[in-house]
């Protein structure tokens, strides 16, 4: 985490399509002289975590820091919405650099698909029959057979999304780990997932793919009828996220883990 901030004088505002978020974007654009995205020093995203994910994908590798303010239904990655002193907040914000996962999936026809994932790579059964998967880490088989509805490979940024709903662990931003979380595991019933170094290559083979078809998704990009998926962190690609020093992300992470 880098607490220093360059000059962020030119602000481009983006929002979701809710009346609340659009009205906030219009007011802030007038107040702070909003500029086009091509001329911006920083992007301010107004919405929830869904909008933040879209914005992170749109501006990946563009070198623009992204600062979110909560104007949506879910805002775990968003700062508190306030219209006052935005320039000062941006100047004081802490920088967190995140890297996406790269998903490489091969379908039953032998076609290879490649896509980035900021939140997670997920595999899901396509029919009423459970999926059968084999999980390898860095070329070594760690789980010969997992019978389940699916499995999630989550980054720290995505650990509070689908991964959390599947009872996976929350990973603080900046943690050098990835979470592997099963969805409704049947065998082995007690396997609750694993944490692996973010440098690891995760390979998942689909067993009995003809009988038990499986889809794979990198965030919103989906491939159906896959036979194998690999995922690993792409350190050559990055996004710069901004958080208020008093954002309280660590406190929110702790609070989420003690909810019952």
For 11-98+238-257, CATH number out of 3.30.70.100, 3.40.50.10330, 3.40.50.11310, 3.10.20.600 equals 3.40.50.10330
pLDDT band at 248 (very low <50, low <70, confident <90, very high): low
More confident residue, 28 or 173: 28
Average pLDDT over residues 114-119: 96
Residue 44's pLDDT band (cuts 50, 70, 90): very high
Q: What is the mean pLDDT of residues 120-139?
A: 97
Q: Name residues whose C-beta falls within 8 Å of residue 257's C-beta, 6 or more positions apart in sequence.
A: 169, 170
Of 93-97, 182-186, 219-223, 227-231, the least confident: 93-97
What pLDDT score does 1 carry? 46
d(CA 44, CA 11): 7
Q: Give dist(CA 219, CA 121) in Å, integer.
A: 6
| Binding positions | 49-50, 119-120, 149, 157, 160-165
pLDDT value at 2 more than 80? no
- Model confidence at 245, pLDDT cuts 50, 70, 90, reads confident
Q: 101-233 has which CATH code?
A: 2.60.200.30
pLDDT-above-90 percentage for the chain: 76
CATH 3.40.50.10330, the chain: domain bounds: 11-98+238-257
Active-site pick, 39, 41, 49, 107: 49
- Delimit the CATH 2.60.200.30 region(s) of the chain: 101-233
Question: How much is the pLDDT for 61?
Answer: 85
Mean of pLDDT values over 46-61: 91
177-222: pLDDT as tens digits: 999 999 999 999 889 999 999 999 999 999 999 999 999 999 999 9
Using CA atoms, how far apart are residues 233 and 75, in angstroms rounded to an integer? 24
The reported pTM is 0.87
Residue recorded with tokens 């883990």: 257
For position 189, what pLDDT does the model report?
A: 87
- Asked whether 75 and 46 are in contact (CB, 8 A), the reply is no
User: Does residue 4 have a pLDDT over 50?
Assistant: no
Beta bridge partners of 230: 104, 203
Q: What is the pLDDT of residue 93?
A: 92
Q: What is the mean pLDDT of residues 222-238?
A: 96
Confidence of residue 47 (pLDDT cuts 50, 70, 90): very high
Give pLDDT, residue 8.
Answer: 66
Q: Is 94 exposed, middle or buried, given 0-12, 13-18 or 19+ CB atoms closer than 10 A?
A: middle
Mean pLDDT of the chain: 91
**Is the model's pLDDT at 237 over the cut of 60?**
yes
Distances (CA, A) of 200 to 50, 127, 161, 188: 27, 30, 21, 23
Binding residues for NAD(+), as ranges, are 49-50, 119-120, 149, 157, 160-165
Mean pLDDT over 116-133 rounds to 97
- Give yes or no for residue 43 having a pLDDT over 60: yes
Is residue 144 flagged as an active site residue?
no
């Amino acid at each position: 985490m880098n607490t220093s901030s360059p000059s962020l004088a030119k602000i481009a505002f983006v929002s979701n399509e809710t009346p609340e978020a659009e009205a906030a974007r219009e007011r802030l654009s007038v107040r702070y002289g909003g500029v086009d995205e091509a001329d911006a020093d920083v992007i301010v995203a107004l919405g929830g975590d869904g909008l933040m994910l879209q914005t992170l994908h749109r501006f990946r590798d563009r070198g623009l820091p992204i600062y979110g303010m909560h104007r949506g239904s879910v805002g775990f990655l968003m700062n508190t919405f306030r219209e006052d002193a935005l320039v000062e907040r941006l100047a004081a914000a802490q920088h967190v650099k995140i890297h996406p996962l790269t998903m490489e999936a091969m379908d039953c026809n032998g076609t290879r698909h490649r896509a980035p994932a900021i939140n997670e790579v997920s595999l899901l059964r396509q029919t009423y029959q459970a999926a059968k998967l084999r999980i390898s880490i860095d070329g070594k088989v760690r789980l010969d057979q997992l019978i389940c509805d699916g499995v999630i490979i989550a980054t720290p940024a995505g650990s509070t999304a689908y991964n959390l709903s599947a009872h996976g662990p929350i990973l603080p931003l900046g943690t050098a780990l990835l979470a592997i979380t099963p969805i409704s595991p049947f065998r082995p019933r007690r396997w609750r997932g694993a944490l692996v170094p973010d440098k690891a290559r995760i390979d998942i083979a689909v067993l009995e793919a003809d009988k038990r078809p499986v889809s794979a998704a990198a965030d919103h990009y989906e491939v159906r009828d896959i036979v194998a998926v690999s995922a690993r962190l792409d350190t050559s690609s990055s996004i710069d996220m901004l958080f208020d020093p008093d954002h309280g992300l660590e406190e929110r992470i702790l609070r989420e883990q003690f909810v019952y």
